[in-house]
Amino acid sequence: MLSVDARDFITKHEMHASLRAVLGEENYWGSNLDALHDCLTSIAEPTELYIKNWSFAMRRLGDYANRLWHVLDDASRENPNIRIVIE
C-alpha cells in the first residue's frame, strides 16, 4: 500500500510533488490533474493509494481538492489495478 499525508498538500505544486514521490518517478506526470489521471489509469500492477488527513487538502486547496477527488475517483473506476482510499 502506498500512503500519502494530505497535510503535505499546502499548495497544488506540493500536492503533485507528494503524489509523485509516493507513486515513483516511473509514474512521472506534469503538475496538472489531467496528467495525473493519465498516470493513474496507466498503472499496470495492483496498487492501493491511501490518502490520509483529507480535510487538510480541503481547507488548503479548496475547489482544487474537489477536482482532485474526482480525478482519483474516475481513475479508480477506469483502472481496476488502482484502489484509492481517502480518509
pTM for the predicted model, two decimal places: 0.91
CATH homologous superfamily of domain 2-86?
Barstar-like (3.30.370.10)
Would the pLDDT of 9 be above 90? Answer: yes
Residue 40 grid coordinates: 493513474
Note whether 58 and 64 are within 8 A (CB): no
| Torsion (CA) 43, 39, 18, 58 in degrees, nearest 10 | -110
Q: Locate cell 480541503: which residue?
A: 58
Average pLDDT over residues 67-82: 97
Rg (CA), the chain: 12
The residue ranges of every structural domain in the chain are 2-86
pLDDT in tens, 10-51: 999 999 999 999 987 666 677 899 989 999 999 999 999 999
